Amino acid sequence: MGTPAFAVPTLEALHHKGHEILAVFAQPDRPAGRGRSIAFSPVKQKAMELGLPVLQPATLKDTNTDKHLSTLKPDALVVVAYGLFLPQNILDIPKHGAVNLHPSLLPKYRGAAPINHALLHGDKVTGITSILMNSRMDAGDIILQETVAINDDESAGQLEERLSGLGADLITRSLEVMKVGRSEFRKQDEALVTFAPKLSPEDGHIDWKRKSLEIQNQVRGLTPKPGAFTMFKEKRLEILEILLNTEYRIQNTEEVPGLVVSIDKNKGPVIRTSDGSLVLLKVKPQGKKEMSGQEFLRGYRLEAGEKLT
């Protein structure tokens, strides 16, 4: 059970390991792109390539899904970023239970956006956890867990791709543990629970009055989705990559945060923050394709003294 690209490596790993995949569940097809044409999810596409049957119920609460899954008599359900709630009657069907892959060191960052929140908070380490699912969100007993270092310049998209591959291996090992029994599982410490709720597009609006490192973490944590942005000449400017400018020292107190304080012709515009400055290395102007900071300078003839809001 999975839908986005994050779940594809796990599906591939299960197939390559020789597990009998009785069915692949993915969310229903939805319109995508400018043309709003119907698009298959990455998991559905991969399942079709592997010749696996695909089921796409809009909900798992209807009795037909319950009955059909019962007839398959699965040993286990593998759930990776599926996106639909699994009621208890579904969780009770498989012989060994349902295993879920979560990209954090549970009980830290339960919820929809653990990777984003780890970067937003400037964490140096994160991890992947497999749990035996219960009716509560991300609250099941821990089967296996692995710590992963976060690279200083890593974006949410890059970290997600890395964790998806590591997670696939963790899931295949977890299935072997589940065969043996549950004596090695450990309960989560509820006193240590933190949450990572889904982020909205407005969470990406940069406040240049914040500290440079906080803004850099915001850009890393929201790239590629939902995206970090600022406004330039009343149009949205998405910030894809940003660099701490350690050489800059605040001298003129009249310079306000968001001001273009200088131009680095080799890198991009230098923007004042509350405690220093940042260089825009990669941006995407509204209605345009992404470009380097240098290309942005040339194309928009940016000058010192202009302001981002």
* Structure-block tokens of residue 130: 């497999």
Given a cut of 80, whether residue 136 has pLDDT beyond it is: yes
pLDDT band at 182 (very low <50, low <70, confident <90, very high): confident
Pair type for strands 24-25 and 54-55: parallel
Q: What stretch of H or E contains 264? A: strand 260-264
* pTM, rounded to two decimals: 0.94
Domain boundaries, the chain: 5-192, 201-300
Which DSSP string do the residues of 184-229 spell out, in sequence order?
A: T-B---GGG--B-PPPPGGGGB--TTS-HHHHHHHHHHTTTTT-EE
Q: Mapping DSSP to helix (H, G, I), strand (E, B) and coil, where does residue 54 land?
A: strand
Q: What CATH class is the domain 201-300?
A: alpha beta
What integer pLDDT is reported at residue 248 of this predicted model? 67
Looking at 21-35, 154-168, 189-203, 278-292, which range is the least confident one? 21-35
pLDDT at 39 over 90: no
User: pLDDT tier at 216 (50, 70, 90 boundaries)?
Assistant: very high
Q: What is the pLDDT of residues 49-89, one digit of tens each?
A: 999 999 999 999 888 899 999 999 999 999 999 999 999 99
CATH of domain 5-192: 3.40.50.170
